[in-house]
Each structure stands twice: as C-alpha cells, then as structure tokens.
Amino acid sequence: MVCIAKREFFDNKIHEIASSNKRPWDLMNWVRKKTLPANESISYKNCPCNILPDLWNALHKLYNSVENRPVNTRLLNELPQADSVEWLPFSSQEFRDAIAKCSSSSTPGPDHISWRHLKAVISHNICLEKLMHIANACITLEYWPSHFKSANSVVIPKPNKMSHNTPSSFRPIVLLNTTGKLIEKVVSNRLQFHMTANGFLDPNQLGDVRQRSTTDAGVYLTHIIHAGWLRQCHTSVIAFDIAQFFPSLNHEFLSICLKKAGLNTNVVGFFNSYHSNRFTTYTWNNFSSPIFNTNVGVGQGSALSPILSAIYLAPVIKIFKKRLKRLKENIPTNILSFVDDGLLISQEKSYSLSSSFLLCSYNIISKILINTGLVMEHSKTELFYFTRAHHPPNPSINLSLVGGPVISPKPIWQYLGFYFDRRLNFNYYTHFYATKCLSTLSAMKMLGNSSRGLLPIQKRLLYRTCILPITLYGFQL
C-alpha cells in the first residue's frame, strides 16, 4: 500500500509540473546529484560559532569586513569626464518590458509580494501610472524610501566546495521588496543603455553587461590565441580573482564613478540615498538574525548590482591601460574582465619576456585594485600557456614580490566553464560535456517510461531545454 501511495503521489506531481504548469525542466532537480546537508561546525578566525549570535556576527563581519578599508578617489582624476547623459522620465513601456522578464515562481522579498501579484497590479494603467510617478519622484527628489532598503540576505553554500566549515564558503543572496526591485530593474536597464552608448564601459568588460556573455569571452580569447600563432608567438595568461567583490564596493568611490560616467546630479544623488542607511537580516535555513546595518557593497540579487559593479570596474581597466602606455618600456599586455574574474594576456616569442610582462602587469593591476578598495585573492591566481610546439617549456612565475605565491601552469585550465588545453584541441572539453550529457540523459529515464510518467512530447521538450544547452555550450569556440 505504501508503494502504491508513493507511486500515485509522484505520478500526480509529474503531471502537475509537466502538464499543468508546462515546466518539465523543473523535474530535473529530482535527478541531479543530491548533496548531503552540511554538518560541519562553522568557524570564523579559528573561533567556533556554536550559538546563533556568534554565527550572525561572523557572517556580518565577513560580508562587511571592508567597511573601513581606505580608497584613493584621486585615482579617478586620471580619467576624462564622459559625455553627459540626458535622463528622461520613465515610460510605461520600460516597466512593462522589465516585469515581463520576471519569473512568477521566484522567491518574494520581505514584503511577501510575488511577481505574479505585481504583474496583476500594474496591468491596470492607473496603478502603473502611480508606480511611474514614484520612480520619477525618487530621481527628482534624490531619495530612495527606507521601505525599499530593507533586505533579507539568504546564506547559501557556494558550489564545488570541498568543505563548508567557514563563512567564506557561503554566499549571501539578497531578497528585496518586490515593488522596489521592479524600479531597480527599470533603472538598471536605463543605465545599461546609457553606459554603453557613451562609451564609459570598456570594450574588454564582458561580464555584467548585456549582449556580452561567457561565450563572447571564450571566442575573444581563442581568436587572440590563433592570431598570436600566426605571428609565431605563444600566448601566456594569468587569471586572477577579486576577493569578496560585491560586498567590497565602496559607495564613495562608486558615487564619483557615476559622476565620471556623465550622470546628472539628480541621478547621482539618488544613488547616494540608495546606498545610505541600508539594513538587512540574515537567514540560515529556518533561522533569522536580528537587523544589521550594511554600509558597504551592493547585494547579489539586486537588479542594480551587475551594472553598478561594471561601472565600478570600468575605471580600473582604463587606468590600467593608460599606465601601461606611460611606461618607458612597451608592455603589450591585454586585459579581459568578466565580473570579478580578470585575465592578463601576453603574446611573445620568448617565455621569459612574456613572464616578466605578466608579472609587471599583475603588479600594476594589483595596486590599482587596492586603491579602489578591492583586493586580489592571490591563492586563486592561475597561469597557463598556449602553444603549438611539441615540447614547449612550462615555466613558473614567482608572485612573492606582489604578495602572491609561486604559480605553475596545469595541463588543463578551466575558465568560465571552458576547459582549455595548450594546443586548443578541446579533447578534454568535449569529453567532459559529452559525459555530462550522457549521465544527465541516463538519469532522466527515471521520470517516465512507455506506460507512466512523462509523455514523449514532454521528454522531447526536456531534452531540448536541458540536454542541448549542455551539448552546445561553447561550440562557437
């Protein structure tokens, strides 16, 4: 009887998800690898967090550890002022376009209003006009209501971690009030357009910018490598990571970046109000913390965090390029940025020359980041060489002079989901994703057979939505 009851229950759930909701891909959570719940004791600075108050304090100190970190705003004097941006009042179409892309099944924020409810509300023109008046008034009055500053930071484990015994192994995802989040989406869309139109964002910024994806980064890198081989040059790269990137963005530095980007005083004043006097609670499983003030960083989960982080990094890349040009000796190092993952690229015939160029460039970008309140995570820095030679050297680079370790290249280098080998054969890459597709396809068989479960047309849809994207990821490379 128990087996029959279980079978009927799961058959009904499959029918509800695949037929009624028409979202068979939601069933993939049933066939994926199940991770065991974390049962390790959390420690912060070698002190165990045995009670909840200790855990909340550890999380808050970690995610706000850079609150008093100094920044050098005079660094931005090296950049010219961007063309001024004409900020027009918001239109109803901007709100309709923004909310149309929102999933009705996403988790609501502290106001418990879902996107489904908000879509029903603004379907009435009167309600939409009122919301437009609020958004335009926020810009005109340079004010962001305190109700929209309330956030709930849900702490989730970072994927592919061997251990989760420190707070740094977890990531806070910010849940905001839905009405305020819709206004943020409209402002973000406007900023994306203006910052691209007036050229403030650097062309080598491929993350947090629309129409620039991981595939673009991979195609760009492979194009550079092949172009270097035509000149009989090997390609050397150093990949670096910015530690605690989103929680480390300094609001004062960001405000000056917005002025440099050509935004008028009303928009800059709005963002000053947006970043001031914010507060959050932390949620760990079913437990919630008291209210904490957050005066630094931008929350992951906010619609504005991608474009604001891109605006923050744009001066870093431009100043890096200018300082390389001012050196007495020409150092033809290129830079590529994808959110908090940076890439330094050097192409030379001599390995010693390219290594010295990369070391010098790494030192320059490290100092620029420190002046902006950001710090490299040297332990994650990686080195790799691309060459078609049969028995090429594989030299290491000593980063001890800039606070890093001695880094040695690996046989396979993983970058943005791509697996590169030295000769760009992509044998390992093809084998990895083919195996992943076959294992996923094999696991999907438990969702139905010829007599019960998913229908053939639903299996076809599941294959097209869950298997083909894995198979074709990065095929342009």
pLDDT 10s digits, 287-327: 888 988 888 888 777 889 999 999 999 999 999 999 998 88
The residue-averaged pLDDT of 404-418 equals 89
Output the pLDDT for position 161.
75
Give the residues across from 241 on adjacent strands.
341
Contacts of 436 (CB under 8 A, 6+ apart): 470
The residue-averaged pLDDT of 196-216 equals 86
Cα–Cα–Cα angle for 379, 384, 387, rounded to 5 degrees: 175
Percent share of the chain, pLDDT over 90: 31
Contacts of 408 (CB under 8 A, 6+ apart): 383, 394, 396
Handedness of CA 426, 432, 433, 434 (dihedral sign): positive
- Yes or no: say if 378 and 405 are a contact pair by the CB < 8 Å rule: yes
Q: Judge whether residue 8 has pLDDT over 90.
A: no
325, with CB counted inside 10 A (0-12, 13-18, 19+), is: exposed
Output the pLDDT for position 40.
62
Q: Judge whether residue 35 has pLDDT over 70.
A: no
Query: Sorting pLDDT into bands at 50, 70 and 90, what band is 163?
Result: confident
pLDDT tens profile 14-34: 777 777 777 777 777 766 665
- Yes or no: say if 189 and 97 are a contact pair by the CB < 8 Å rule: yes
Cα–Cα–Cα angle for 314, 200, 240, rounded to 5 degrees: 15
301 three-class SS: coil
Output the pLDDT for position 37.
53
Residue 266 region by backbone torsions, left for phi larger than 0, else alpha for psi between -120 and 50, else beta: alpha
Picking from 79, 20, 23, 84, the residue whose alpha carbon sits closest to that of residue 317 is 79
The residue-averaged pLDDT of 239-243 equals 91
Give the residues across from 398 on adjacent strands.
406
Kindly state the tokens that stand for 251. 């609001």
- Per the document, the length of the chain is 477
Output the pLDDT for position 32.
67
Q: Judge whether residue 38 has pLDDT over 60.
A: no
- Yes or no: say if 383 and 409 are a contact pair by the CB < 8 Å rule: yes
The C-alpha atoms of residue 72 and residue 243 are separated, in whole angstroms, by 18
Contacts of 216 (CB under 8 A, 6+ apart): 206
* Amino acid residing at 210: R
CA distances from 286 to 168, 289, 458 (A): 20, 10, 35
Picking from 248, 288, 46, the residue whose alpha carbon sits closest to that of residue 165 is 46
Range in 194-198, 446-450, 468-472 the model is least confident about: 446-450
- Yes or no: say if 308 and 192 are a contact pair by the CB < 8 Å rule: no
Output the pLDDT for position 476.
83
pTM of the full structure? 0.88
Give the residues across from 284 on adjacent strands.
287
Output the pLDDT for position 39.
54
pLDDT tens profile 432-454: 988 888 888 887 887 777 777 77
Range in 152-156, 233-237, 319-323 the model is least confident about: 152-156
Range in 155-164, 268-277, 328-337, 358-367 the model is least confident about: 155-164
pLDDT tens profile 113-124: 888 888 888 889
Output the pLDDT for position 268.
92
The residue-averaged pLDDT of 191-205 equals 89
Percent share of the chain, pLDDT over 70: 97
Output the pLDDT for position 365.
93
Picking from 73, 2, 87, the residue whose alpha carbon sits closest to that of residue 269 is 87
The C-alpha atoms of residue 344 and residue 337 are separated, in whole angstroms, by 9
77 vs 11, higher pLDDT: 77
Q: Judge whether residue 104 has pLDDT over 60.
A: yes
